[in-house]
Amino acid sequence: MDMTNLHQLFNAQTQEIEISGIRLFDEKIASIDGLIKLTLGQPDFPTPQHVKDAGIKAIKNNLSFYTGMAGELRLRESVANFMKVKYNISYDPQSEILSTVGATEALAASLLAILNPGDKVLIPSPFFSLYEPLVILGKAEPVYIDTTENDFILSPEMIQEAMSVHGDKVKAIILNYPTNPTGVTWNREEVIAIADTLKQYPDVFAISDEIYSELVYEGSHISLGEYLFDQTIVINGLSKSHAMTGWRLGFTLAPKAITQQIIKVHQYLVTSASSITQYAGIEALENGMDDALPMREEYKKRRDYIYEIMHRLGFEIAKPNGAFYIFAKIPEGYIQNSYDFCYDLAQKAKVGFIPGVAFGEAGEGFIRLSYASSMAEIEEAMHRLTNYMEQHSVN
Ligand code: PMP
């Protein structure tokens, strides 16, 4: 094998994509001594005890075999019940629900099931770093809709404008609310307006990543599936609601004809989600549907605390109403390039944020921080940020 020309041997799309900017930056600053990292989007809480116990019990009872491809029926029934109770939508557990290896695999399998070479996929921007590479791996083309001017809220007009430019090449739109990285979300009227707009384009799939559905602070989450059932693939999972990122459990919820296609990709990618994880998931949904509540209260306190301080320091922030991120515009008079700002902050103040540009061009000039860290760490990080801002104005 000729190592100098090795790159020619690989898949063209694989060569086009990069390791996520979030991970790369996190690793770049990881060796800085004494750094407080508010970088990664994972809950700092442990998985609830009763859920852990269910996983342990499953191991003890030797439930260590492959499950059916779609996952244990009892798990899918508990997901169906969760969607009915919380979001007023009925999905048939036998044919419309799939359990996956995290929301990540749910997104990958869904996109690979629908994309053809040359398709376009609309992505409101700034966006979570997974979407763009998955679209590229599907040999399709991402088309970004910049939402910065509208406080990161996607509007029906923005969709219409993108559709008028890209027309029948558009195969799907990827929606995500509450949104990573901005934490903004949509109320019922906004969800209905988006659904009504997308109904005008019945051949466009709406992939609705609702992984933060349980972390909405004022009001509650409304699922797109309630208003746009036929076109929608809802993505959800237990990573955020039950602090289970490492267990890897997600779901797709979609009409039967769509699910039948996704399940084929899912089967050949992973066979099924981990059996032990699925039994823990059954417990989480049957007896812990509201496990996120105490976590949500705590996140909300942290959000309010950080928002207050950063606002005072001159950061412009669209107040987040969900998830656990603050997406803030770097004030004038400081390094404006988000990568350079974050690197300087990490080196000099020992605080780790993620450069906004990791979430697409529309995120340039912003930083994202995750407040899924202890209050003690957050307080110290804000103290350090305050000192940095006092000392490092470039004016
Ligand atoms: N979607 C969004 C918007 C996310 O923020 C994340 C995790 N950071 C995921 C999907 C992936 O979730 P999972 O851990 O369930 O794969």
Last residue of a domain, one of 287, 315, 347: 287
What pLDDT score does 41 carry? 87
Regarding whether 188 and 39 lie in a shared domain, the answer is: no
What pLDDT score does 200 carry? 98
Return the CA Rg of the chain: 21
The Cα–Cα gap between 328 and 151 comes to 11
Q: Could you tell me the distance, in angstroms and rounded to a whole number, from the CA of residue 103 to the centre of ligand 1?
A: 6
| Total number of domains in the chain | 2
Regarding whether 248 and 155 lie in a shared domain, the answer is: yes
**Is residue 371 one of the residues assigned to a domain?**
yes
Regarding whether 129 and 106 lie in a shared domain, the answer is: yes
**Is residue 51 one of the residues assigned to a domain?**
no
For atom 8 of ligand 1, the residue with the nearest CA is 41
Last residue of a domain, one of 236, 254, 287: 287
Q: Could you tell me the distance, in angstroms and rounded to a whole number, from the CA of residue 274 to the centre of ligand 1?
A: 17
How does strand 97-100 pair with strand 250-253? antiparallel
Regarding whether 273 and 312 lie in a shared domain, the answer is: no
Residue partners of 19: CB distance under 8 A and separation at least 6 = none
Q: Is the CB of 103 under 6 A from ligand 1?
A: yes
Q: Is the CB of 364 under 6 A from ligand 1?
A: no
Looking at the CA of residue 40, tell me the nearest atom of ligand 1: 8
Regarding whether 316 and 276 lie in a shared domain, the answer is: no
What pLDDT score does 8 carry? 80
Last residue of a domain, one of 264, 287, 310: 287
The stretches of 167-274 forming alpha helices (DSSP H) are 188-199, 224-227, 256-270
**Is residue 145 one of the residues assigned to a domain?**
yes
Looking at the CA of residue 250, tell me the nearest atom of ligand 1: 15
What pLDDT score does 238 carry? 98
CB atoms within 10 A of CB 394: 8
- Judged by DSSP in three states, 261 sits in helix
Side chain identity at 124, as an amino acid letter?
A: P
What pLDDT score does 395 carry? 65
**Is residue 106 one of the residues assigned to a domain?**
yes
Q: Is the CB of 197 under 6 A from ligand 1?
A: no
Tell me which of 127, 130, 185 to substitute to probe ligand 1's pocket, judged by most ligand atoms within 8 Å of the beta carbon.
130
The Cα–Cα gap between 237 and 211 comes to 6
Regarding whether 186 and 309 lie in a shared domain, the answer is: no
Regarding whether 297 and 282 lie in a shared domain, the answer is: no
Regarding whether 180 and 314 lie in a shared domain, the answer is: no
Give every residue of the chain whose pLDDT is below 70, as ranges: 395
**Is residue 55 one of the residues assigned to a domain?**
no
Q: Is the CB of 180 under 6 A from ligand 1?
A: yes
Regarding whether 276 and 188 lie in a shared domain, the answer is: yes
Regarding whether 267 and 242 lie in a shared domain, the answer is: yes
Looking at the CA of residue 128, tell me the nearest atom of ligand 1: 3
What pLDDT score does 293 carry? 97
**Is residue 60 one of the residues assigned to a domain?**
no
Regarding whether 305 and 356 lie in a shared domain, the answer is: yes
Q: Is the CB of 153 under 6 A from ligand 1?
A: no
Q: What is the CATH number of the domain that holds 127?
A: 3.40.640.10
Q: Is the CB of 211 under 6 A from ligand 1?
A: yes
In order of 70, 97, 140, the CA distances from 263 in angstroms are 7, 9, 20
Q: Is the CB of 210 under 6 A from ligand 1?
A: no
Residue 75, CB-side half-sphere exposure with 13 Å CA sphere: 30
Contact by Cβ (8 Å): 289, 145: no
Residue 319, domain extent = 3-46+292-391
Contact by Cβ (8 Å): 225, 195: no
Q: What is the CATH number of the domain that holds 341?
A: 3.90.1150.10
Regarding whether 374 and 266 lie in a shared domain, the answer is: no
Please state the pTM of the whole predicted model: 0.97
Q: How far is the first Cα of the chain from the last one, in angstroms, to the nearest whole number?
A: 54
Q: Is the CB of 181 under 6 A from ligand 1?
A: no
- Phi then psi for residue 372, to 5 deg, are -85, 55
